[in-house]
Chains A and B, each alone.
Chain A
Amino acid sequence: MKDQKPYEDNQLKILFTQEQIEEKIGELGKKISADFAGLELILVGVLRGSIYFLVDLTRKMSIPFAIDFISISHYSEQADSTGVVRIIKDLDLSIADKHVLVVEDIVDTGLSLGYLLRNLKSRKPASLKVCTLVNVEARRIVEVPVDYKGFDVPNVFVVGYGLDYNEKYRNLQFIAQFDRP
């Protein structure tokens, strides 16, 4: 396979440009800052895809907060299909009695987020909310509350801005539809 600049890739169709994303994240940052003003807020980034979004989101926020990360195993990454979901990297901070905002790059089936929320809820946070950059309602299997969302996307595969395909395309500054080979 020859090396190719991602934006020259003809499998990509841009859905949201860098400007649109920046504007949207600005709105989200503003809203979150207003909603959590005066509260002790912990942003929980779900590894790995959410880091780009999380960094830019926090830059648009005007209130104090703490950041932590969590990572869970995914079915699609299992060598065999007999295991159960588990936390690979847990939070370092205690979230008890704190206001928690889970930051996701994408919410589609809700399967992994559903598990994550059940897990976090058991730690008795003062509140538990979800912010995602991309929301694919058409693929939802488990209903999960999405309190803040950037873009609604139909049932297509998307990459860019943290979203990958086999670890590729994460660093794109835009979000694109990707027709898989």
Chain B
Amino acid sequence: MGIITISREFGSGGETIAHFVADKTGFVLVNKDTILKGLAEHGIEVPNPDQEDLGATEGKKGQEEQYIEAMHDFIYDLAIRNDLVILGRGGSILFRDYPPALHVRVIAQFTERVRRVMRAYGLASETAVRLVKEKDRGKILYLRQVFNANWNNLRLYDLVLNTEKMVLEDAADLIITAYRIHAEPREVKDGPPLGEMEDRVFIPPAEAEADQFMHPSEEEFAHMLDFYRIRWQYEPRTFFLEWDSEGNVVEAFSPDFYLPDQDLFIELTTQKPRQAWKKNRKIRRMKELYPDISIRLIDKRGFESLLKKHSIDQDQGEEDDN
């Protein structure tokens, strides 16, 4: 069985690439539709066919777990009889202990993805931004819920492709080439292959956890909110700050946290004041454009006194170098 898994950021072109790869290799493309149809044939009821909602819903847990299990069985079954291109669905984790599998991640910058989604679906920029955010968030939740894994952990992948400056068909060709090299590796001369293998498949859970946040300070802040039993969401919303003459969003801002009970957005910065001007400018702009939204900037000093009021060690932290 040949396996290529493709995980993609929404709007990065990953789905088109997966189709190209499947067409060119003759591998069977497994996506959400394939799975839903396959499971339906086996009479398995899908409690919540939209993976994007999986993480958001509470309850119905037993049913969901059953479905997830059935889905995995179905994919494994397919893989025994076929070569597969698996789009999404946590494929890189499902087959991470199968060395010949190639795990690919397709990415592109947020603004570029928004532009593509606007074009592809004929959406207004605000809707497109919301859609991209929601879809990405859904993927994060799905992986966390189903596999307890961090979607943003790039170590889950053998190959990461940025499609911003790339024709999608070329990206597909790159993947196919990579797969061939990967599946029939040449003799490794500069290191024991076993060690490399272990490095590729072993993901320390602590590190995976840390990767969920863009910055360690954000993780610590989240821990602190948990400590005080304050509900929070991480980067749940993006605000558009600037548009070009054609109405495309050229600048957007996603505050780090939203506290639903306080109806408050929070942006953290551990930069020194003179480096934080860009963030300050964005927040000012946001306040102008969205006067009804409450947002608070917690600066480096505020953050330190917040977290380690009593720890001298922390005061001599990483950024106090001049």
Q: What are the interface flags for A81-108 relative to B under an 8 Å C-beta threshold, 1 for contact and 0 otherwise?
A: 1111100000000000000000000000
Q: Known: A141-B259, A181-B315. Is A114-B307 also a contact (CB below 8 A)?
A: no
Known: A139-B298, A167-B310. 6 other contacts (CB 8 A): A76-B307, A81-B224, A84-B227, A111-B230, A141-B230, A157-B305
Decide if B194 is an interface residue (CB 8 Å cutoff): no
B65 within 8 A of A: no
B306 touches A85 (CB 8 A): no
Contact A76 B223 (CB under 8 A): no
Q: Give chain B interface residues in 274-322, CB to chain A under 8 Å.
A: 296, 298-299, 301-302, 305-312, 315
**Which residues A131-167 have CB closer than 8 A to chain B?**
138-143, 155, 157, 166-167
* B69 shortest CB reach to chain A, Å: 30
Q: Which of B220, B227, B311 has a CB less than 8 Å from the CB of A83? A: B227
A141/B262 contact (C-beta < 8 A), A84-B227, A85-B229 known = yes
- Bound CA span A111–B227, Å: 9
A155 — which chain B residues lie within 8 A by C-beta? 299, 301-302
Cβ of B224 and Cβ of A142 under 8 Å apart?
no
A sample of 15 inter-chain contacts (CB < 8 A) reads: A76-B309, A83-B227, A85-B229, A114-B230, A138-B302, A139-B306, A141-B259, A141-B266, A141-B296, A142-B230, A142-B259, A155-B302, A157-B305, A166-B312, A181-B312
Complex Cα gap A155–B225 (Å): 20
User: If A114-B228, A142-B262, A143-B262 touch, does A82 touch B223 (CB 8 Å cutoff)?
Assistant: yes
Rounded to whole angstroms, the CA-CA distance of A78 and B227 in the bound complex is: 10
B residues near A, CB below 8 A?
220, 223-230, 259, 262, 264, 266, 296, 298-299, 301-302, 305-312, 315
Closest approach, in angstroms, between the C-beta of A109 and any C-beta of chain B? 6
As a 0/1 sequence over residues 54 to 72 of chain A, the CB contacts with chain B under 8 angstroms (1 = contact) are 0000000000000000000
Q: Are the C-beta atoms of B224 and A75 separated by less than 8 Å?
A: yes
Q: Per DSSP, are chain A's interface residues mostly helix, strand or loop, or mixed?
A: loop
Contacting residues, chain B, for A84 (C-beta < 8 A): 226-229
B205 CB to closest chain A CB (Å) equals 14
Q: Which residues of B contact A142 (CB under 8 A)?
A: 228, 230, 259, 262
| Nearest Cβ on chain A to B255's Cβ, whole angstroms | 13
- Residue from A81, A138, A167 with most neighbouring chain B CB atoms (10 Å): A81
Q: Kindly identify which residue among A111, A143, A181 contacts B224, using a CB–CB cutoff of 8 Å.
A: A111
Chain A: CB-nearest residue to B304: A180
Q: Mark A121-138, 1 if CB is under 8 A from B, else 0.
A: 000000000000000001
For residue A19, CB closer than 8 A to chain B, the reply is: no
A135 to B308, CA, bound (A): 19
B311 in complex: contacting residue of A76, A85, A111, CB < 8 Å: A76
The answer to whether A35 has its CB under 8 Å from any CB of chain B is no
Q: Determine the distance from Cα of A8 to Cα of B132 in the docked complex, in whole angstroms.
A: 58
The answer for the CA separation of A42 and B299 in the assembled complex, in Å, is: 37
Contact of A115 with B by CB under 8 A: yes
A77 beta carbon closer than 8 Å to chain B: yes
Residues of A within 8 A of B310 (CB): 74, 76-77, 166-167
